[in-house]
Amino acid sequence: MDPLLSIERLQMHFPLRSLIPWRAPRLVHAVDGVSLHVDAGETLGLVGESGCGKSTLARCVLRLIEPTAGRIRFADTDLTALGEEDMRRRRREIQMVFQDPTASLNPRLSVAATVDEPLALHTPLTAQARRARVDEVLEEVGLGAGLRDRYPHQLSGGQRQRVNIARAIASRPRLVVLDEPTSALDVSLRARVILLLGELKRALGMTYLFISHDLSTVRYLCDRVAVMYLGVVVEEASARELFDHPAHPYTRALLSCIPIPDPDAVQERLALAGEVPSPVDIPAGCRLRGRCPLAQPVCAEPVPVREVAPGHTVACHLV
């Protein structure tokens, strides 16, 4: 069966404004040829540190920014070829939950107004029917219809994020893209929101594209995981496979940096030298080359994508 979302060789290059007007501008290679797919009902986790391009990729999928090359196929439709109005109508089916729960809510709209909007824009329901539906969704996310007339400044951070989620699922989209939905939340609230997302997934059969830098949350929620570095996917596998048998040096380095809450656990940190290079001047060959402790001369060549186990692909010369 065809995947619900299929990202094909997506590229997003931002030009840097150059002081010399006639020279071709230098480019920020935010996303540099990424191909991914998400099956219906699946949760794909997209991880990486800042600057890897995962947020940019999310925005391309929603066509909040226009990719410079590549295709995005959603259930047989080529999203990249759609006009403004057609895309607008498609938005019923692809929604997003943003990172900052406060900044992503219009301070002048009540909870009910915020959640009602996707329904008003995309469904033929009457005002009364919408009202009932809004209450239903508020119950689903654990807020309760009693909060419908509150404004964002009258809610706590956790509640605001739930409103964010309610807005995203109100029109029963087929795909929800979540961009770091718990990073701005306090530790104890994170668990609740993650559990909520898990329950919604099971109850409503949601498909998620879950973007995060918090690997432990990703392990909990995701079926498959893709790791990004400097605009490309370096490893992709099922969640269990990735965390138990990481193959790419970057993945292994990343996992080794996360402190395990067990004082007796043996954790050897795989150190990457230096810092993440600028996405403007990308080195040829493997992008990790300057920092990887295992680097060999062959790493200057274009990187092959190898399948090291069923469903587990790695972009590395050395595996």
- Where b means 16+ CB within 10 Å and e means fewer, 140-160 reads bbbbebebbeeebeebeebbb
Interface with other proteins includes 150 (CB under 8 A)? yes
Task: Work out how close the CB of 302 gets to other proteins at its nearest, in angstroms, rounded to a whole number.
Answer: 25
CA dihedral 114, 118, 124, 125 (to 10 degrees): -40
Task: Work out how close the CB of 276 gets to other proteins at its nearest, in angstroms, rounded to a whole number.
Answer: 8
Separation CA 67–CA 56 (nearest Å): 9
Separation CA 221–CA 181 (nearest Å): 12
User: Per CB under 8 A, which region of 21-29, 35-43, 116-124, 129-137 contacts other proteins?
Assistant: 116-124
Interface with other proteins includes 30 (CB under 8 A)? no
Q: Which of residues 243-272 bind other proteins (CB under 8 A)?
A: 243, 253-255, 257-265, 267, 269, 271-272
Amino acid letter for position 294 = L
Q: Which of residues 299-318 bind other proteins (CB under 8 A)?
A: none
Assigned token pair, 243: 């965390």
Residue pair 209/38 in contact by the 8 Å Cβ criterion: yes
Separation CA 44–CA 35 (nearest Å): 13
> Which of 57, 60, 112, 143 is close enough to bind other proteins by CB under 8 A?
143
Residue pair 112/154 in contact by the 8 Å Cβ criterion: no
> Which of 203, 281, 302, 310 is close enough to bind other proteins by CB under 8 A?
203
Interface with other proteins includes 192 (CB under 8 A)? yes
User: Per CB under 8 A, which region of 3-11, 124-132, 217-225, 301-309 contacts other proteins?
Assistant: 217-225
For residues 39 and 100, which CB has a smaller minimum distance to other proteins in the complex?
A: 100
Task: Work out how close the CB of 10 gets to other proteins at its nearest, in angstroms, rounded to a whole number.
Answer: 18
Alpha-carbon distance values, 216 to 220, 246, 258 (Å): 6, 14, 9
Separation CA 99–CA 229 (nearest Å): 20
Task: Work out how close the CB of 62 gets to other proteins at its nearest, in angstroms, rounded to a whole number.
Answer: 5
> Which of 151, 306, 308, 318 is close enough to bind other proteins by CB under 8 A?
151
Q: Which of residues 39-98 bind other proteins (CB under 8 A)?
A: 49-50, 62, 64, 88-89, 91-92, 94-96, 98
For residues 27 and 276, which CB has a smaller minimum distance to other proteins in the complex?
A: 276
Task: Work out how close the CB of 64 gets to other proteins at its nearest, in angstroms, rounded to a whole number.
Answer: 6
* Among the listed residues 128, 212, 193, 204, the one whose alpha carbon sits nearest the alpha carbon of residue 170: 204
Per DSSP, the three-state class of 189 is helix
User: Per CB under 8 A, which region of 11-19, 30-38, 100-108, 127-135 contacts other proteins?
Assistant: 100-108
Separation CA 44–CA 209 (nearest Å): 5
For residues 39 and 214, which CB has a smaller minimum distance to other proteins in the complex?
A: 214
